[in-house]
Amino acid sequence: MSLPRDSRDSRDFPAVPSSSNGVEVLARNLCDTGFKYNWNIEDYLKGVDQEIDVDSPVYEINVNGLQTKWSLALRYWMDENGLRLTNPVVICLNLVSAVVTSPATSLVDYREQLQVRYQFGIWNPAVKQYEVCPVGIHTIEATSEPTKTLTSIGARDIIILDRHLSGKSIEIFCKIMLVREELEQHSLALDLWTKLRSGENCDVHIHTADGSLVPAHRTILMCRSPVIDGLIDKEGHIKLDMSTPLLTSLLQYIYTDRVDPLDSPEKLLKFAVQLEMPGLKNICEKALIDSITPRNVAALLLIADTFGCDLLKKSALGFCEENSSQIVKTVAWKVMEEVNPKLFEEVCQTL
Question: Which residues fall within 8 angstroms of residue 316, CB to CB, at 6 or more apart?
Answer: 289, 292, 297, 300, 301, 304
Question: Which residues fall within 8 angstroms of residue 159, CB to CB, at 6 or more apart?
Answer: 1, 2, 87, 88, 89
Write down all domains in the chain, each with its CATH number in brackets: 5-182 (2.60.210.10), 188-285 (3.30.710.10), 292-348 (1.25.40.420)
| Residue of higher predicted confidence among 335 and 78 | 335
Lowest mean pLDDT among 10-19, 100-109, 114-123, 239-248: 10-19
What's the chain's Rg over C-alpha atoms?
Answer: 23
| Residue of higher predicted confidence among 79 and 316 | 316
User: What's the pLDDT score for residue 111?
Assistant: 67
**Residue 98 binned pLDDT confidence (cut-offs 50, 70, 90):** confident
**Residue 203 binned pLDDT confidence (cut-offs 50, 70, 90):** very high
Q: How many CB atoms lie within 10 A of CB 158?
A: 22
Decide: 175 and 34 in contact? Cβ < 8 Å. Answer: yes
User: What's the pLDDT score for residue 191?
Assistant: 77
Mean pLDDT throughout 126-144? 84
23-60 pLDDT, tens digit each: 766 654 444 567 889 999 988 888 777 778 899 999 88
Residue 301 clears pLDDT 90, i.e. is over it: yes
* Backbone CA torsion sign across 278, 175, 8, 325: negative
Average pLDDT score over the chain: 83
Please name every residue paired with 75 in a beta bridge, in sequence order, or none if there are none: 90
3-state SS of the chain is CCCCEECCCCCCCCEEEEEECCEEEECCCCCEEEEEEEEEECCHHHHHHCCCCEECCCEEEEECCEEEEEEEEEEEEECCCCCEEEEEEEEEEEEEEEEECCHHHHCCCCCEEEEEEEEEEEEECCCCEEEECCCEEEEEEECCCCCCCCEEEEEEEECCCHHHCECCEEEEEEEEEEEEEECCCCCHHHHHHHHHHHCCCCCEEEECCCCCEEEECHHHHHHHCCCHHHHCCCCCEEECCCCHHHHHHHHHHHHHCCCCCCCCHHHHHHHHHHCCCHHHHHHHHHHHHHCCCCCCHHHHHHHHHHHCCHHHHHHHHHHHHHCHHHCCCCHHHHHHHHHCHHHHHHHHCCC
271-295 pLDDT, tens digit each: 999 999 999 999 999 999 988 988 8
Q: Which of 60-64, 133-137, 225-229 has the highest mean pLDDT?
A: 225-229
Mean pLDDT throughout 81-108? 78
- Name the pTM for this structure: 0.58
**Residue 323 binned pLDDT confidence (cut-offs 50, 70, 90):** confident
Could you tell me what percent of the chain has a pLDDT over 90? 45
Task: Considering only the C-alpha atoms of the chain, give the largest distance between any 2 of them, rounded to a whole number of Å.
Answer: 74
| Residue of higher predicted confidence among 46 and 209 | 209
**Residue 19 binned pLDDT confidence (cut-offs 50, 70, 90):** very low
